[in-house]
Amino acid sequence: MAVWGKRADMTVHEAEPFNAEPPAAVLAEGSATGTDAFFVRNHGPVPRIEPEQWRLRVTGRVAEPLVLPLAQLRARFPVHEIVATLQCAGNRRAGLMRVRDIPGEAPWGAGATSTAVWTGVRLSDVLDAAGAARDAGHVAFEGTDVSPEATPPQRFGGSIALAAAHRDDVLLAWAMNGAPLPVVHGGPVRVVVPGQVGARSVKWIERITVQDPPSDNYFQARSYRLLPPEADPGEPGAGFALGPVAVNSDILVPDDGAEVPAGPLTVRGYAFAGGDRGVARVDVSTDDGRTWRQAELADPIGPWAWRLWRHRLDVRAGPVEITARAWDTAAGVQPESQAQLWNPKGYANNAWARVRVTATR
């Protein structure tokens, strides 16, 4: 049954809180993901907020604290539209779980990554209006939803560095793909932080605090940290907080395990690089990386969005393993082995993409 306006064929990792990803092939259909297919990652129940009741509070190291109703947020600042990809840190965790189990976390596939057009105002314009201290360290976000998974249970939150918050691309968005932001994606208003792990794009944003240290919220200080493999995931402060997304790609078509006709086969996928990096190249191999061919990249749809890619192969009857890897504009490349990337929370799997298919005559 379709819930939250999503396609009926979503893989639902959890019904409550709702967590779901689209079938990989659906992501290959277009550079902007349909709202009905865009993945959903929730850490608590979806809060119901009346847009008229909603207020954004801007506090902390500001000259003038603000309390902004939605109408004022929309009227007072220039409106901007960006195309941005969100990628959850848990994207492709299923691959890491095949290396070693990761108890308590969902086996996300390629689909914890999606791209949309977001409309809103720049966070930096709002910070300027509040007279945010220019020498502050971080900007902390807090949503409305209370996560029972956090210790102690608390609202979802996180932070980004002040310099990142002043970038042109960080939005307080009330629309997605040209329609009011759906409640499951954070409506009435969410933060969109392009290029950083999805967790920093706080939904149902209610409070923005300009401060020196990073947020002490559970989802900044304890979770969404990349731990050394031997670390105890319950240990506070271990590892480092995730931020910009490393170069990544995945194969969306054909499906892993599919049977395909021998002969011409078009392989399709996405590639994405966060931070200030773009996707420079995608390579495809059918001999486990001994030789590579360059895939054809779709035209860029914006500096903060993924690049879809395709590559035509000619496959002979029998088993075929297809491997892909992306390079970013800083010459970063996806590492080969997910065994080497395994970490206790199963984040940031950017190992070579692989699917195994059987070609039949």
Asked if residue 93 binds ligand MTE (CB under 6 A), the reply is no
Q: Which residues, including other chains, have CB under 8 Å from residue 84's CB and lie 6 or more apart?
A: 115, 116, 118, 169, 192, 194, 195, 302, 304, 305
Least Å distance between CB 312 and ligand MTE?
Answer: 32
Least Å distance between CB 11 and ligand MTE?
Answer: 14
Q: Which does 39 bind (CB under 5 to 8 A by kind): Mo ion, ligand MTE, none?
A: ligand MTE
Asked if residue 43 binds Mo ion (CB under 5 A), the reply is no
Report the distance separating Cα 359 and Cα 361, nearest Å.
Answer: 7
Among 6, 13, 43, 311, contact with ligand MTE (rule: CB under 6 A): 43
Beta carbon nearer to Mo ion, 43 or 61: 43
Cβ atoms of residues 306 and 277 within 8 Å: no
Least Å distance between CB 198 and Mo ion?
Answer: 4
Least Å distance between CB 200 and Mo ion?
Answer: 9
Q: What is the largest CA-CA distance in the chain?
A: 72
Can you read off the two tokens belonging to residue 290? 């001994």
Beta carbon nearer to Mo ion, 220 or 323: 220
Least Å distance between CB 213 and ligand MTE?
Answer: 20
| Three-state DSSP state, 349 | coil
Rg (CA), the chain: 21
Report the distance separating Cα 353 and Cα 337, nearest Å.
Answer: 10
Asked if residue 166 binds ligand MTE (CB under 6 A), the reply is no
Q: Site mask, ligand MTE, residues 103-142, x = CB under 6 A?
A: ----------------------------------------
Tokens 């590892």, residue?
Answer: 239
Least Å distance between CB 281 and ligand MTE?
Answer: 26
Can you read off the two tokens belonging to residue 322? 């297809």
Q: Which amino acid is at 106?
A: A
Asked if residue 54 binds ligand MTE (CB under 6 A), the reply is no
Asked if residue 93 binds Mo ion (CB under 5 A), the reply is no
Can you read off the two tokens belonging to residue 146? 């209370």
H-helix or E-strand spanning residue 126: helix 123-129
Asked if residue 157 binds Mo ion (CB under 5 A), the reply is no
Distance of CA 191 to the CA centre of its chain: 13
Contact footprint for ligand MTE (CB under 6 A): 38-43, 86, 88, 143, 145, 156, 185, 198-199, 201-204
Which residues bind to Mo ion, rule: CB under 5 A?
Answer: 41, 88, 198-199
